[in-house]
Amino acid sequence: MLTEGKVDFNRKNRSLGRQNIFYEKSPPPKQSHELKCPQCGCERLFRDGIRYLQNKKQVQRWLCRECNYRFSKKPKTKVKAKKQRIIPVLEKHLKTPRNGSSKRQDRDEFYNGRARYLLAEGNINLVKVDPEQINAQREGTQTQQNTTNDVNGKIVSFLWEMKKSDIKDSSLKTWNCILRQLAKHTDMTPDDVKEYLAKRAELSQATKRSYVAAYDKFLKHYGDNWDAPNYVVEDKIQYIPPEADIDALIAGSGRLLSTYLQFLKETAARGGEAAKTKWSDVDFERKIVHIRPEKHSRARILPISNKLVDMLNRLPRNSEKIFSTHESLRSNFHDARKTLIYKLQNPRLKDIHLHTFRHWKATMEYHKTKDILHVQQMLGHKSIECTLVYITIENALYKNTIDDYTVKVAKTIDETISLLEVGFEYVTGEYTDGGKILRKRK
């Protein structure tokens, strides 16, 4: 783009009225959006299509090239008037008398321009307008609104008390969604809640049990009791994907998400435990990481590979935590998985969740060591009963496979000690042909 510069009149061409105009390049225009990524604060944003809202308005979506996070900035919309606000105004306009003949008064009573506009906005029948009906409807709406406000106030008070009792924010968020759903479709009485759950055949037994637990907490907080229904959740074997599918998800994700998934693969940590890991918890020299526990498990120190150390070193250190919140990482994981399912034409990836990495690592670790106590310490379980399920999974996966071993012969005591330190075990307790035979599962 060229802009007009200073005008310099030439003496020779002054008589002809000519002028020499010098042009120079204008500075490049600034980006119109001037946005930053809400997750990492990066300004390297690219347009990522258009999103259509329910009101048929278009919203520009943005893609962060740093952390592969997609977001959109919703436009400001005008708040429409509610029916509760329209009905009193409508009644006022219908009762307002006007000067003139009786025919005009009768006509204005029903066909006043302002009243007709309000009726159209309120979606009320224009022909049959009865003041008593309007008053009854207004009283019923106000009563229903007061009841809803009362229930919502109780829910907020309950959640605040649970917050002061040091309940996790993730649990409070789940309880809030459940109680709001029940308040929307029921009167929050035990019989209505039971009937609502009985009719919801599409909900699983585990989901219904979560509904019962949240509502039971809500009732006990206000000193009420009820005969809670018992929903039995059947045990199921967790899906253990091939390692190639896990590596495909890691390779096809962005830099931050791929490091997060590699962290889950090597440490078998929960998603929340990995999300709250700080930079001070990682010892890059000794290649170990301190896992901060959750769900009343044990803290633990686990080794990490050189690959994970290199991936961590490539991340920016903008805060004390390595990763962002668990909710944003889970959302990014779902988007990346959906893209890879279409790109790789691999429907098995849909069955892989963030907690699947923990199940995969525990199963592989037991398959290598056959030591259930080692797996329990790695997972941080306080009860061995939670860890015994991986024995069943390992036996089902590797029942018909032949175990491969690496066999070594130690001829001296130092060689024997060094092999035992790296995981080898005795095959023969005595020296055979000048040495001891040791083996380790591949």
Complete DSSP assignment for 290-351: EEPP-TT---EEEE--HHHHHHHHTS---SSBSS--HHHHHHHHHHHHHHHHHHHT-GGGGG
**pLDDT level of residue 337 (50, 70, 90 thresholds):** very high
Mean pLDDT of 70-80: 63
Mean pLDDT lowest among 167-171, 230-234, 287-291: 167-171
* Confidence category of residue 131, pLDDT binned at 50, 70, 90: low
Question: Residue 439 — very low, low, confident or very high, per pLDDT cuts 50/70/90?
Answer: confident
Closest CA to 396 of 347, 353, 436, 363: 363
**Among the ranges given (187-196, 307-316, 410-419), the one the predictor scored with the smallest mean pLDDT:** 410-419
* Range 124-153 burial, b when 16+ CB lie within 10 A, else e: beeeebeeeebeeebeeeeeeeeeeeebee
User: What's the pLDDT at 284?
Assistant: 93
Number of C-beta neighbours around residue 408 at 10 A: 18
Confidence band, pLDDT 50/70/90 cuts, at residue 362: very high
DSSP letter assigned to residue 52: E
Take residue 404 and report the two structure tokens written for it.
Answer: 């491969």
Region 102-115: what's the mean pLDDT? Answer: 50
Tokens found for residue 164? 């002061």
**How many whole angstroms from its chain centre is CA 372?**
32
Taking Cα atoms as reference points, which of 66, 38, 123, 8 lies closest to residue 314? Answer: 66
* Residue closest to 257 by CA, chosen among 269, 280, 275, 239: 275
Mean pLDDT value of segment 204-230: 90
**Cβ-contact 257, 336 below 8 angstroms:** yes
Dihedral sign, Cα of residue 207, residue 210, residue 215, residue 218? negative
Q: Give the single-character DSSP code of 223.
A: T
Calculate the alpha carbon distances from 194 to 187, 218, 220, 228, 312 in Å.
Answer: 11, 15, 17, 8, 49
Residue 2, beta-bridge partner list:
25
* Closest-CA residue to 236 (of 281, 266, 205, 273): 205
* Confidence grade of residue 294 (pLDDT, cut at 50, 70, 90): confident
Tokens representing 433 are 């042909």
Task: Categorize the per-residue pLDDT at 263 as very low, low, confident or very high, splitting at 50, 70 and 90.
Answer: very high
The tokens describing 87, both together, are 């009905």
Predicted pLDDT of residue 437: 80
Average of per-residue pLDDT across 377-381? 91
Question: Which of 225, 218, 219, 148 lies closest to 186 in space, CA to CA?
Answer: 148
pLDDT at 305: 92
Residues of the chain with CATH 1.10.150: 143-221
Range 134-158 average pLDDT:
68
Q: Is the pLDDT of residue 212 over 50?
A: yes
3-state secondary structure of 25: strand
Query: Quick one: average pLDDT of 86-100?
Result: 47
Alpha helices in 165-321 (DSSP H): 169-185, 190-199, 205-221, 243-251, 255-267, 271-275, 306-313
Q: Is the pLDDT of residue 125 over 60?
A: no
Question: Considering the chain, what percentage of its residues have pLDDT values greater than 90?
Answer: 31
Output the pLDDT for position 224: 87
- Evaluate if residue 250 carries a pLDDT over 90: yes
Give the predicted TM-score (pTM) of the model. Answer: 0.58
Between 30-34, 333-337, 391-395, 425-429, the lowest mean confidence (pLDDT) is in 30-34
pLDDT of 211 reads: 92
Q: Does pLDDT of 398 surpass 70?
A: yes
Give the whole-angstrom CA distance, residue 336 versus residue 67: 12
pLDDT of residue 6: 42
**Residues of CATH 1.10.443.10 domain(s) within the chain?**
252-367
Q: CATH 3.40.50.2300: does it fit domain 252-367?
A: no
CATH class held by domain 143-221:
mainly alpha
Query: Does position 144 have pLDDT exceeding 60, yes or no?
Result: no
Gap between the Cα atoms of 215 and 185, Å rounded: 14
Residues 138/88, Cβ–Cβ less than 8 Å: yes
Which value, in Å, is the radius of gyration of the alpha carbons in the chain? Answer: 34
Q: What pLDDT is attached to residue 31?
A: 46
Residues 11-39 as b or e (16 or more Cβ within 10 Å = b): eeeeeeeeeeeeeeeeeeeeeeeeeebeb
152-156, 310-314, 406-410, range with greatest mean pLDDT: 310-314
> How confident is the model over 301-330, as pLDDT tens digits?
999 999 999 999 999 998 999 998 888 898
Query: CB atoms < 10 A from the CB of 262, how many?
Result: 22
